[in-house]
Amino acid sequence: MTRMRAVDAAVLILEKEGATQAFGLPGAAINPFYSAMRAHGGISHVLARHVEAASHMAEGYTRAAAGNIGICVGTSGPAGTDMITGLYSAWADSVPILCITGQAPVAKLDKEDFQAVDIASIARPVTKLAVTVMEGAQVPGVFAKAFWLMREGRPGPVLIDLPLDVQQTEIEFDIDTYEPLPVTRPAATPAQAEKVLDLLVRAERPVIIAGGGIINADADAKLVELAELLGVPVIPTLMGWGTIPDDHPLNAGMVGIQTSHRYGNATLLASDFVLGIGNRWANRHTGALDVYRRGRTFVHIDIEPTQIGRVFAPDYGIVSDAGYALDALLHTARARRERLALPDFGVWAKECQARKATLQRKTHFDNVPIKPQRVYEEMNRAFGRDVVYVSTIGLSQIAGAQLLHVYGPRHWINCGQAGPLGWTLPAALGVATARPETSVVALSGDYDFQFLIEELAVGAQHHIPYVHVVVNNSYLGLIRQSQRGFEMDYHVSLAFDNVNADPDDDFGRIGYGVDHLKVAEGLGCKAIRVQRPDELPAAFARAQGWARAYRVPVLVEVILERVTNISMGSAGLDAVNEFEDLAVTGLDAPTAIAVMD
């Protein structure tokens, strides 16, 4: 046994658990922990400019690669409350991050001490564990439990609050004999897999809904193998996008009232059996449940027992890790294939392919100012199959999900349920930290970009390169579109005449307000502005070159037309407003693919 401070034990445990990347800000109440990180040297650290941003960096880092757990560190009081949005978005999307906060000494709790707040109580609804550690000797056990909880069952975040005196308490601890607590996951049984296949083979038009749980289980290859073995089309959810490549013949497109494809919605509505694996039946995927459920049999497989029946009662439910469930289904399906007991869904699969070839949305516009659809068309050409996209919310994200292409798991990093503005920029820094040799491209509207724009300086200081595409219409575009139902356009415009604008410059004359290029350059980054669609390819190529050469974030700001309504609905999948003047229908397959690509 070795005598050491409790924070030294905590840092050694982080290293042993494999969590070696932190994002945060030092402060008086957390300085002992920082001194332990400095002393032991096993934890890399990125200095954020805002603690909320640090929590989103930790999220991006975790989401970027299997097995990652990002760490967010902050001092007492407002640092913890700033983390709440990151904890909420991680909790909502089943993302394990560890938030560590400093706290006033134990004797000062409940005495309204400076920056002393009961952060554990505040964070508890959006974490798997939120605890203030009251005794130094409890620190190793609390950290061990934290890692176990983050990995056990449905993954999620944890907050550990460390009073100043607890951090510095000397304890006896032996890191050499420390072992992570064993993690167990529920697994579908052979009988359950047989039941699922019994239901599926009775169907004529089955589909598989592939959720984010498949990505969490690192089981995308098993999903594709099962789909190919059965010949059943796959509909990825927004969080499951990339589980099957977009150009795979059995990829039937995404479904929903916003981030969806016309052909995906049409296929779901034509189906008679739905097998959901690792998904939540999120409301923006299902739309109105009466439309979504009508005439279909549902099987739901999820690792979290309380998810089964939470939104609606499936015809059959299984509590299982997605990877283990796919193992069981594959074993059963292979046995049935050997007995020639699997039906041929080839006609149905070809019908789905035909919808995919004909129900595309138009992207090729030459308008000036630029239509957003053209931006995504050019992004598909410029960034290639291996790019990792990062986005959060707004018309930019919705249109991006409708029109971009994703070919692998963890190549679409998206804050799905919480959708906080400002998330994209710090999350992209976390993703790029985790995958430094990968092309990372963030996508934001101008409002999302402005929320935590100061974090560009973090990328410049720490040499974290990525490309940030900002589609700028000087509007809260999604809110403006939803305000149409109230016949108003109220406090959603971001445009103003900037007193510093050059009247001889095209951008200065159009009154778009914030000069993002000057802000980005002032924060140590490179920036490009695009005002014509034919300038997009060169701008994207230059941005990628600058990111590699300068090792800093590179902004590509695209000036859009101020008003573009993006396809979406507010009710059922059969009532999505496609704005038919922008739609492309009845194309043959080669033409449709050319438009899509």
pLDDT in tens, the chain (597 residues): 799 999 999 999 999 999 999 999 999 999 999 999 999 989 999 999 999 999 999 999 999 999 999 999 999 999 999 999 999 999 999 999 999 999 999 988 887 777 679 999 999 999 999 999 999 999 999 999 999 999 999 999 999 999 999 999 999 999 999 999 999 999 999 999 999 999 999 999 999 999 999 999 999 999 999 999 999 999 999 999 999 999 999 999 999 999 999 999 999 999 999 999 999 999 999 999 999 999 999 999 999 999 999 999 999 999 999 999 999 999 999 999 998 889 999 999 999 999 999 999 989 999 999 999 999 999 999 999 999 999 998 888 999 999 999 999 999 999 988 878 899 999 999 999 999 999 999 999 999 999 999 999 999 999 999 999 999 988 876 778 887 888 888 788 888 888 888 777 766 667 788 999 999 999 999 999 999 999 999 999 999 999 999 999 999 999 998 888 888 888 899 988 887 555 444 433 333 333 333
Q: Same domain, yes or no, for 548 and 506?
A: yes
- Are residue 74 and residue 214 in the same domain, yes or no? no
Asked if residue 571 is part of any domain, the answer here is no
Mark whether 296 and 381 lie in a shared domain: no
Establish if 574 belongs to a structural domain.
no
The CATH number of whichever domain residue 166 belongs to comes to: 3.40.50.970
Asked if residue 253 belongs to a domain, the reply is: yes
Please list, in sequence order, all residues whose beta carbon lies within 8 angstroms of the beta carbon of residue 544, skipping any fewer than 6 positions away.
382, 383, 439, 467, 554
Q: Which structural domain, as residue segments, surrounds residue 391?
A: 368-560
Query: Would 593 be classed as within a structural domain?
Result: no
Q: What does the block give as tokens for 103? A: 């706290």
Task: Judge contact between 268 and 262, C-beta under 8 A.
Answer: no
**580 is a domain residue:** no
**74 occurs within a structural domain:** yes
Closest CA to 251 of 310, 210, 279: 210
Task: Give yes or no: residues 129 and 237 share one domain.
Answer: no
CA distances from 445 to 99, 160, 399, 541 (A): 28, 34, 11, 21
CA gap 143, 590 in Å, rounded:
55
Task: CATH number of the domain at 257, please.
Answer: 3.40.50.1220
Mark which of 119, 154, 177 sits at the end of a domain. Answer: 177
Identify each DSSP E strand in 310-426 by its residue range.
316-319, 360-361, 388-391, 412-414
Whether 195 and 120 map to the same domain: the answer is: no
Residue where the block lists tokens 């907050």: 159
Domain identity same for 324 and 344:
yes
pLDDT of residue 54: 97
User: Do the domain assignments include residue 440?
Assistant: yes
User: Residue 491: what pLDDT?
Assistant: 84
Q: Give pLDDT, residue 509.
A: 60
Name, in order, each residue with C-beta under 8 angstroms of 382's C-beta and a sequence gap of 6 or more.
536, 537, 540, 541, 544
Cα separation, 168 vs 170, in Å, equals 6
272 and 408 fall within a common domain: no
User: 277 and 372 share a domain?
Assistant: no
What are the backbone dihedrals phi and psi of residue 3, each rounded to the nearest 5 degrees, phi first?
A: -85, 130
Looking at the fold, whether 145 and 93 belong to one and the same domain comes out as yes
Q: How many domains are there within the chain?
A: 3
Residue burial 349-381, b: 16+ Cβ < 10 Å; e: rest: bebbbebbbbbbbbbebeeebbbbbbbbbbbbe
- Interatomic CA distance for residues 355 and 377, integer angstroms: 20
Q: 407 and 555: one domain? A: yes
Please give the C-alpha separations between residue 41 and each of 13, 20, 99, in angstroms, as whole numbers: 13, 10, 19
Same domain, 302 and 226: yes
Q: Do both 523 and 383 map to the same domain?
A: yes
- Assess if residue 418 is contained within a domain: yes
